């Protein structure tokens, strides 16, 4: 027990590196920052648009530029950590994240903000894969299970807390900074993280590092950009020719990526994303489940932020605070999760899916019957049930996906998992957000929100059905 609690166990002299309590807190802080920043701008977008005279297409780039750069570079970030040391990449990524956050907060124009957000996404891609890779390499047995559970809880809470924090900071208008505070707040947090990481995070790396897979990196980047860029920008830009050409390029680039990676693996090299990694059934099935879960999560958070402010007339702070019960329910259920998993295994994911479906169903009925008189208390029952259900799914899925990944491939495995999650988060904003905004002119915001919630409910039911295929026990 002393080993778990003492921060002095961050570096083991005689054995493998050990991640102590302070080190775990530090890497979880690093994991929270990129996810918070993906969602923190949702409630700030109207204010940013007014202050910088930015149109809808440019505002979508503020969100999409970060998400696409983040998703495209995540696997590469994991590989670089395997090669050069995960602590080193974590520290470097955190420094870059702090500097790019400062650039976002000081951006004089909308396009400067877009460029800074792209750079911030790249910094996140260097930092985040090192978190799971360090946990995989520097923890064992029950300590790893506990750490993975805490990572899952941190990820879920960060996505909800980001939106809440964004509303509070915009409304507080600290020293007249307005929306800029949603980025500037990262700077002191980064300074704290750097101080703690230098003391408490052990250095780990692959014992047999492989060179960067340049063809695989380029093809993965082309595939993800060709899919995510037109989906996020197409509606606001009026679906010009380039969006359709880009979407047509996606299956070609994805197929070429798979063929190049398979050939590299057959020749004994280590590709960027080893196809053999997907031979592991729990990993493959867990990744499939992550997609509809994350699409629904991010799509809901984006749509609810727009609907509550522009439709129900809530202020940014009230729109953010409306989600507090969801965050509280997620936190409480996350604490109960490990005990439930020890007794019921992955059937906890199925139960969580059922709970989330009930919560989304209640939200749908609430919106349909109460719009536009929609305040925070009216949403709370659905949000509480849905939040608890999400907390019983996400941490378990992370554990399932990485349960069979060897420590030597921890960076690659975590990079692949986070890339799938991040791409799905960006896809959720692009698809559900586009659906919602496309329906608003013809059907009104209330009906558009109801329809979008029904689509999300279908995704929750799909996730619940897929959970029945997970292995019962987590090794």
Q: What is the pLDDT of residues 74-121, one digit of tens each?
A: 888 888 888 888 999 999 999 999 999 999 999 999 999 999 999 999
Q: Which residue has the higher pLDDT, 356 or 75?
A: 356
Q: Is the CB of residue 312 less than 8 Å from the CB of residue 305?
A: no
Q: Evaluate if residue 55 carries a pLDDT over 90.
A: no
Q: Residue 10 — pLDDT band, cuts 50, 70, 90?
A: very low
d(CA 255, CA 350): 33
Q: Evaluate if residue 195 carries a pLDDT over 70.
A: yes
pLDDT at 8: 42
Which one-letter DSSP state was computed for residue 203?
Answer: P
Helix axes 347-370, 410-467, angle to 10 degrees: 70
d(CA 11, CA 17): 5
Residue 133: phi, psi to the nearest 5?
Answer: -65, -40
Tokens coding 286: 């867990």
pLDDT at 139: 85
d(CA 475, CA 470): 12
pLDDT at 9: 43
Pick from 272, 278, 265, 270: nearest CA to 218: 272
pLDDT at 217: 86
Pick from 179, 182, 199, 75: nearest CA to 128: 75
Q: Residue 3 — pLDDT band, cuts 50, 70, 90?
A: very low
Q: Evaluate if residue 37 carries a pLDDT over 50.
A: yes
Tokens coding 141: 């047995």
The pLDDT tens digits of the residues spanning 454-470 come to 999 999 999 999 888 88
Q: Is the CB of residue 75 less than 8 Å from the CB of residue 200?
A: no
Q: Any residues with CB less than 8 A from the CB of 211 and at least 6 apart, and which?
A: 83
**What's the longest Cα–Cα distance across the chain?**
68
Which one-letter DSSP state was computed for residue 41?
Answer: T
Tokens coding 238: 């009026």
Peptide bond into 13 cis (omega under 30): no
User: Of the spans 114-118, 230-234, 399-403, 416-420, which averages the highest pLDDT?
Assistant: 114-118
Q: Which of 141-155, 175-189, 357-371 has the lowest mean pLDDT?
A: 141-155
Q: What is the mean pLDDT of the chain?
A: 85
Report the SS3 class of residue 470. Answer: coil
Residue in the block written with tokens 């807390």? 161
d(CA 45, CA 306): 9
Residue in the block written with tokens 């955190």? 94
Helix (H) or strand (E) holding 455: helix 410-467
pLDDT at 172: 83
pLDDT at 408: 63
Enumerate the H helices of 277-409 as residue ranges.
281-306, 316-321, 324-344, 347-370, 376-391, 394-402
Tokens coding 374: 């929609």
Using the Cα atoms of residue 236, residue 238, residue 241 and residue 247 in order, give the sign of their dihedral.
Answer: positive
Which one-letter DSSP state was computed for residue 207?
Answer: S
Residue in the block written with tokens 């703690």? 196
Q: Which of 32-36, 165-169, 220-224, 405-409 has the lowest mean pLDDT?
A: 405-409
Determine the distance from the C-alpha atom of residue 280 to the mean position of all C-alpha atoms in its chain, rounded to a whole number.
23
Q: Evaluate if residue 46 carries a pLDDT over 60.
A: yes
pLDDT at 13: 45
Average pLDDT, integer, range 167-190: 89
Q: Evaluate if residue 474 carries a pLDDT over 70.
A: no
Average pLDDT, integer, range 11-34: 81
DSSP secondary structure letters along 64-124: HHHHHHHHHHHHHHHHHHHHH-HHHHHHHHHHHHHHHHHHHHT-SSHHHHHHHHHHHHHHH
Pick from 425, 58, 462, 41: nearest CA to 228: 425
Which one-letter DSSP state was computed for residue 308?
Answer: I
Average pLDDT, integer, range 300-306: 86
Q: Residue 406 — pLDDT band, cuts 50, 70, 90?
A: low
Q: Residue 170 — pLDDT band, cuts 50, 70, 90?
A: confident
CB atoms within 10 A of CB 259: 12
Percent of the chain with pLDDT over 90: 33
Q: Evaluate if residue 391 carries a pLDDT over 80.
A: yes
Q: Which of 265-274, 302-311, 399-408, 441-450 has the lowest mean pLDDT?
A: 399-408
Q: Evaluate if residue 315 carries a pLDDT over 60.
A: yes
Residues in the chain, how many?
Answer: 475
């Amino acid at each position: 027990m002393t080993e778990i609690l003492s921060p002095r166990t961050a570096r083991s002299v005689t054995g493998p590196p050990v991640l102590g309590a302070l080190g775990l807190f530090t890497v979880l802080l690093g994991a929270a920052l990129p996810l918070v920043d993906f969602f923190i701008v949702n409630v700030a977008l109207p204010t940013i648009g007014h202050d910088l005279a930015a149109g809808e297409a440019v505002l979508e780039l503020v969100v999409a530029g970060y998400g696409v750069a983040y998703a495209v570079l995540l696997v590469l970030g994991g590989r670089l950590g395997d090669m050069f040391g995960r602590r080193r990449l974590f520290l470097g990524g955190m420094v870059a994240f702090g500097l790019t956050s400062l650039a976002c907060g000081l951006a004089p124009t909308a396009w400067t903000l877009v460029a800074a957000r792209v750079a911030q996404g790249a910094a996140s891609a260097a930092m985040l894969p090192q978190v799971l890779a360090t946990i995989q390499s520097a923890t064992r047995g029950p300590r790893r299970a506990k750490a993975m559970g805490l990572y899952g809880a941190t990820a879920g809470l960060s996505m909800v807390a980001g939106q809440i924090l964004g509303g509070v900071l915009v409304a507080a208008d600290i020293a007249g900074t307005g929306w800029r505070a949603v980025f500037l707040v990262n700077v002191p947090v980064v300074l704290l993280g750097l101080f703690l990481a230098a003391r408490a995070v052990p250095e780990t790396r692959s014992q047999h590092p492989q060179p960067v897979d340049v063809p695989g990196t380029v093809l993965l980047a082309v595939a993800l950009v060709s899919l995510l860029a037109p989906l996020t920008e197409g509606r606001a830009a009026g679906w010009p020719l380039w969006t359709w050409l880009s979407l047509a390029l996606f299956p070609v680039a994805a197929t070429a990526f798979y063929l190049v990676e398979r050939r590299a693996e057959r020749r004994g090299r280590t590709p960027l994303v080893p196809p053999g990694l997907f031979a592991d059934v729990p990993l493959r099935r867990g990744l499939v489940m992550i997609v509809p879960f994350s699409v629904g999560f991010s799509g809901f958070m984006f749509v609810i932020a727009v609907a509550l402010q522009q439709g129900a007339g809530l202020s940014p702070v009230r729109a953010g605070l409306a989600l507090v019960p969801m965050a509280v329910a997620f936190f409480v259920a996350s604490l109960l999760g490990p005990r439930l998993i020890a007794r019921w295994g992955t059937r906890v994911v199925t139960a969580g899916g059922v709970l989330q479906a009930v919560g989304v169903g209640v939200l749908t009925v609430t919106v349909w019957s109460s719009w536009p008189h929609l305040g925070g208390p009216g949403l709370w029952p659905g949000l509480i049930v849905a939040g608890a259900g999400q907390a019983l799914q996400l941490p378990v899925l992370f554990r399932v996906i990485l349960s069979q990944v060897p420590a030597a491939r921890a960076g690659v495995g975590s990079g692949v998992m986070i890339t799938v999650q991040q791409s799905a988060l960006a896809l959720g904003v692009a698809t559900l957000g586009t659906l919602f905004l496309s329906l608003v002119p013809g059907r009104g915001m209330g009906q558009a929100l109801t329809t979008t919630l029904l689509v999300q409910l279908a995704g929750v039911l799909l996730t619940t059905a897929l959970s029945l295929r997970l292995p019962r026990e987590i090794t």
